[in-house]
Structure 1
């Protein structure tokens, strides 16, 4: 029988602590431009729906979303961790309506990323995410099987994939490496440049293979169709939901934003939660 006093105390503790930051790390088996476009438009769609969104560029090189938006100059979270600037100096407001911050701006790749830096960076990130409702991380899974921060390992992890054979193969290999590094846990699958029917085939095949050969559960996050209005909006420096609200991609991103903004959003089986993200 449940302990009522314990449950009541735990509920009060959670109320006083406030909601936990919602952190989703995105990895991709698609070209970097496709990933950047997806992140920008999803973040803009979430912001358009009234969410406080922060997009963190955690890529080691200069091909992350901050560079795509031209917001990779200046200080990074690592600079804050080294007490060389204030936290508010690293958060830039994108014209699409959300905040952007760079994690290291290539410092890690340059060999200047010490264990002490890592600890301080983790603390800085913890402070940062408490200022946002939804934190989207443009991440990379390094060859050594590590993420820049342990919190990325504990966050929801979503893998972007397209309908091409190469992308599907790369996405499956990525999931295999993730499961070997992080253990048995679920991952989300987001299919881009695909119709709903095409995305269902991709997801079903990947979910079957992952379950059979890796004992890993995948969750469908939905899909975004190929749409020329995405490129048109990008050339205008705007999100597709803002520039062309009736476009097929806009409808898809609004649907995705609705899923990501659900209270208590978490992948099934993830430590700390059990509700579904998928359809």
Structure 2
């Protein structure tokens, strides 16, 4: 029995019928500095206000955006689960409003070299997150690195954050092109949703989406769903300096109201029923098996340059 089949058996055994699977939303962007982590954190806060249990996995390796914005330093991260024998509850840090977060550290980068026993231990522990959280938000790195692509192809629900800057639009397209060309990407089982950030008005946010959507529809034939716009807001910038999410620090701010609206849209039955929930065991098994295929050379590197869309 090969390791891929062994991992499938682990998923089958861990996803018991009586256990609901967490909804996994992967937040990403084509370039850094567009407010991706702010979107992840404030959506988490809004989901908590709706009574949902939420955990953020900070998968932006090398950076610590989530813990900085929460003003909380985690005692443990994913490496401690993998290499130090900690269980999943040990590595969850609880932030404002009861939002949990897990620091990824560099843990996932070495997972594909581990023995089967280690993989069993990790996957079974990660599957426990389905019992702890209703929604798990994955905050990826920016751009089209292999690490980001691995998270995206494993995701059933992707939230792409973009801004009106020409480079942001072009880089968003490049990311979608790379994702669309991946041999492991499933159009049928993946929903890509877009948030327009740092816009001057709702109209500008809609126009930004229309511009990106037109190019994507023409060249990639990939359907996108618009979730809403977040305005430029001095209160949001101030909250970052204060290391407190704007949704907590300034509940009446324009940005807070926008996050509330987007979270409400995301919880609309029309948007939740269309996504097949996979659970954390399936999510990480997809990443691990994908890394193993890539390491053997069976999956080509096809991430190319985007056509000129200007």
Distance 1:84 1:162, change over 3 A: same
- 1:142 Cα deviation from its structure 2 partner: 5.3
Q: How much does 1:107 deviate?
A: 3.9
SS in 1 for 2:132: coil
The equivalences for 1:189-208 within 5 A come to 189-194=194-199, 195-208=201-214
**Cα–Cα, structure 1 residues 37 and 149, in superposed 2: closer, same or farther, change >3 Å?**
closer
- Flag structure 1 segments of 5+ consecutive residues without an equivalent: 1-13, 274-279
Q: 1:17 aligns to what SS in structure 2? A: coil
Tell me if structure 2 keeps the 8 A contact 1:81–1:124.
no
Q: TM-score, normalised by structure 2?
A: 0.72
User: Comparing 64-73 with 198-207, which one deviates more in the overlay?
Assistant: 64-73
Partner of 2:294: none
Work out whether residues 156 and 277 of structure 2, in 8 Å CA contact, stay in contact via their aligned partners in 1: no
CA gap of 1:118–1:17, structure 2 versus 1, over 3 A, is same
- Looking at structure 1, the residues matched to 73 and 60 of structure 2 have their Cα atoms a distance apart, in angstroms, of 11
Which shows bigger deviation, 166-175 or 112-121?
A: 112-121
Q: How far has the Cα of 1:204 moved from its partner?
A: 0.9
CA contact (8 A) 1:42 1:257 kept: yes
* Counterparts of residues 10-29 of structure 1 (less than 5 Å): 17-29=18-30
Q: May I ask how many residue pairs the two structures share in their alignment?
A: 256
Q: 2:126 is matched with which residue?
A: 125
Structure 1 residue 237 and structure 2 residue 239: aligned? Answer: no
Residues 239-261 of structure 1: CA deviation (Å, up to 9, x unaligned):
22332222211111111121233
The answer to whether the Cα contact below 8 Å between 1:52 and 1:134 also exists between their aligned partners in 2 is: yes
Compare the two structures and name the one with the higher helix fraction.
2
* Residue 192 of structure 2: aligned partner: 187
Bigger relative CO (Cα 8 Å, ≥ 6 apart)? 2
The corresponding residue for 2:222 is 216
Q: 1:222 to 1:257 in 2, by over 3 A?
A: same
- How many angstroms does 1:228 deviate by? 0.4
Paired with 1:123 and 1:24, the residues of 2 have a C-alpha distance of: 20
Alignment check: 8 A CA contact 1:29 1:162 kept:
no
Q: Alpha carbons of 1:149 and 1:79: their partners in 2 closer, same or farther (altered >3 Å)?
A: farther
User: How far does residue 39 in structure 1 lie from its aligned partner after superposition?
Assistant: 1.7
Q: 1:124 to 1:187 in 2, by over 3 A?
A: same
Q: Which residue in the other structure is 1:37 paired with? A: 38
* 1:85-107 residue CA offsets vs partner (Å, 9 max, x unmatched): 1222111111243111123x124
Q: CA offsets per residue over residues 14-53 of structure 1, 9 Å max, x none?
A: 9953532110001113534722222222211221222211
Match of 1:143 among 136, 142, 145: 145
* Conserved? CA contact 2:140–2:151, under 8 Å: no
TM superposition score normalised by structure 1? 0.79
- Tell me, in whole angstroms, the C-alpha distance in 2 between the residues paired with 1:249 and 1:158: 17
1:102 aligns with: 103
| Aligned partner of residue 35 in structure 2, secondary structure | helix
Counterparts in 2 of 1:145 and 1:102: CA distance versus 1, 3 Å:
closer
Q: In the alignment, which residue of structure 2 is the partner of 1:8?
A: none
How has the CA–CA distance of structure 1 residues 34 and 158 changed in structure 2, closer, same or farther, with 3 Å as cutoff?
same
Change in CA separation of 1:148 and 1:123 when aligned onto 2, cut-off 3 Å: farther
The answer to whether the 8 Å contact 2:78/2:107 transfers is: no
